[in-house]
Amino acid sequence: MSLTLPAPEHLINRELGILEFNRRVLAQAEDRHTPLLERLRFLCIFSSNMDEFFEIRVAGLKEQRLLNPGMKGPDGLSVRQTYERVSQTAHALVTRQYELLNRSVLPALAMEDIRFLRRTHWNAAQAEWIRDYFFRELMPVLTPIGLDPAHPFPRVLNKSLNFAVELSGKDAFGRNSGRAVVQAPRSLPRVIQLPAGLAGCEYGFVFLSSILHAHVGELFAGMEVEGCYQFRVTRNSDLFVDDEENKNLREQLQGELPHRHFGDAVRLEVADSCPPRMTAFLLGQFGLQPEELYQVQGPVNLVRLMQVPERVERADLKFPAFIQGTPAALVRRPDIFQAIGKGDILLHHPFQSFQPVIEFIRQAAEDPHVLAIRQTVYRTGTDSELMRQLIKAAQRRKEVTVVVELLARFDEEANINWAQKLEEAGAHVVYGVVGYKTHAKMALVVRREADGLKRYCHLGTGNYHARTARLYTDFGLLTCRRELCQDVADVFQQITGLGGAGVHSHLLQSPFTLHTHMIRAIQRETARAKAGEKAIIVAKMNALLEPRIIAALYEASQAGVRIELIVRGVCALRPGLPGVSDHIRVRSVIGRFLEHHRVFYFWNGGVEDVLLASADWMDRNFFRRIEVGFPVLDSRVKKRVIHEGIKPYLKDNVLAWEMQPDGSYRKPPRRGRGFNAQTHLLSLLRGKS
Q: How far apart are CA 428 and CA 403, in angstroms?
A: 8
Fold of 328-506: Endonuclease; Chain A (3.30.870)
pLDDT for 245: 44
Q: Is the dihedral of CA 468, 473, 479, 482 positive or negative?
A: negative
Question: Long-range contacts: 421-425, Cβ < 8 Å, 24+?
Answer: 421/387, 421/391, 422/387, 422/390, 422/391, 422/394, 425/391, 425/392, 425/394, 425/395, 425/400
Fold of 8-317: polyphosphate kinase like (3.30.1840)
Beta pairing class for 143-146 and 114-116? unpaired
Q: How far apart are CA 484 and CA 488, in angstroms?
A: 6
Q: Do domains 328-506 and 509-685 have the same CATH topology?
A: yes
Residues 282-295 pLDDT 10s = 999 999 999 999 99
The domain segmentation of the chain, as residue ranges, is: 8-317, 328-506, 509-685
The model's pTM is: 0.94
Write the class of the CATH domain 509-685: alpha beta
Cis peptide before 511 (omega within 30 of 0): yes
Give the SS3 label for residue 21. Answer: helix
Phi-psi region of 499 (alpha: psi -120 to 50; beta: other; left: phi over 0): left
- Catalytic residue, from 213, 349, 439, 515: name it: 439
List helix spans (H) across 53-169.
59-67, 79-100, 106-111, 124-133
From residue 396, give the alpha-carbon distance in Å to each of 366, 367, 368, 409, 510. Answer: 8, 10, 9, 32, 34
pLDDT for 533: 98
> Is 432:401 a contact under the CB 8 Å cutoff?
no
| Residue 463 CB-density burial (10 A; 0-12 exposed, 13-18 middle, 19+ buried) | buried
pLDDT below 50 — which residues of the chain? 242-247, 253, 256, 689
Q: Is 439 a catalytic residue?
A: yes
Residues 439-481 pLDDT 10s = 999 999 999 999 999 999 999 999 999 999 999 999 999 999 9
> Is 48:615 a contact under the CB 8 Å cutoff?
no
